[in-house]
Structure 1
Amino acid sequence: MAAPNAAAEDDGVILSLVLDTKKGNSFLLILDACSFTELARAEIPHPIPFGSHGQYYEQI
């Protein structure tokens, strides 16, 4: 997600949904797009399984 009035290509943040199978929950990880430093984490009290995004199926 680009920062408002971004001056460089990597001015902004990266949002990543993480599934923690050991804890049985998920969280939204917010990273600085330039350094990949963790800026914030939003814990979700239940798992959000991976969906069909990025998966490809053969047409029949």
Structure 2
Amino acid sequence: MGALATGTMVAMAPAAQAAQYANLKDCQAAAKRKVDERISQGDINVPNYTCKRDGNGWRVAVG
């Protein structure tokens, strides 16, 4: 039961942490910052960040 509850929490975490941006241009700038941050940390497995429509705004998603 503990593993099931933990899996549920992990599955819900990304949606709760996703920031919403008012327009596509701001979202794309945030996606670029995320890529630049990961590269500066030495990560060689940087995902392709894209912007997805989310209600009345935009959010950065792994694409």
Instruction: Tell me whether the two structures share a fold, i.e. TM-score over 0.5.
Output: no
Give the TM-score normalised by the residue count of structure 2. Answer: 0.25
Going by fraction, where is strand more abundant, 1 or 2? 1
Larger Cα-atom Rg: 1
Give the TM-score normalised by the residue count of structure 1. Answer: 0.25
Going by fraction, where is helix more abundant, 1 or 2? 2
